[in-house]
Amino acid sequence: MKSIWQKFGVVLFWVLWPALCLYVRGSERSRVLILSGDKVLLVKPWLGDGRWGLPGGGLHKGEEPLVGLSRELGEEVGLHDVQPVLLGVEQINDRGFRFTAHFFIAQLTVPQELRLQFLEIAAAQWVPRDSLGGLQCVPEVHRVLELSVNH
């Protein structure tokens, strides 16, 4: 049943794609690279193109990026005790989605159990860093990994 929902989310994404691009255009969003040892937390949104990405989401009007990120982590994957540090702020343009991204990094001593929000996150997994090349990821994942090298 979960697979059917995931496929439905991908189809719906492409149907709504033009409206979603307009909705996201010019917005501010936060993303976090969560590391635990050699593993990276990746999420696959329910309403998305099927690629893996980083946890995070859109900021509410006037919301500080760190506050919005903490809210999104709790909502999406059930993580509350994460201490992110800002890596940088960049303009993103991917498949028509244009927004400002606030990139963070956080370290966990052990991978934590995740509680995925239904109809928000279709899947999440802790992936060994050296296995990321074999996955279809949004470009932000590789960009944040580049930024994290200097951290």
Query: Which helix or strand (DSSP H or E) is residue 48 part of?
Result: none
Contact 53, 141 (CB under 8 A): yes
Residue 125 pLDDT grade (very low, low, confident, very high; cuts 50, 70, 90): very high
User: Which of 48, 145, 144 is CA-nearest to residue 97?
Assistant: 48
Predicted confidence at residue 21, as pLDDT, reads 87
* pLDDT tens digits for range 48-60: 999 999 999 999 9
- Measured between alpha carbons, how far is 70 from 55 in angstroms, rounded to an integer? 10
Predicted confidence at residue 53, as pLDDT, reads 97
3 versus 97: the higher-pLDDT residue is 97
> Is the pLDDT at 151 greater than 80, yes or no?
no
Q: What is the CATH number of the domain that holds 104?
A: 3.90.79.10
> Is the pLDDT at 6 greater than 90, yes or no?
no
Q: How many independent structural domains does the chain possess? A: 1
Residue 70 domain boundaries: 2-149
pTM over cut 0.85: yes
> Is the pLDDT at 2 greater than 80, yes or no?
no
- State the average pLDDT over residues 18-33: 92
**Mean of pLDDT over the chain:** 92
Tokens of 11: 């189809």
**Number of Cα atoms under 13 Å in the Cβ half of residue 117:** 14
Helix (H, G, I), strand (E, B), or coil: what is residue 37?
coil
- Measured between alpha carbons, how far is 59 from 31 in angstroms, rounded to an integer? 11
**Token pair 């006037």 in the structure block, residue:** 62
Helix (H, G, I), strand (E, B), or coil: what is residue 96?
coil
Tokens of 70: 């903490």
Predicted confidence at residue 81, as pLDDT, reads 85
* pLDDT tens digits for range 64-101: 999 999 999 999 999 988 999 999 999 999 989 999 99
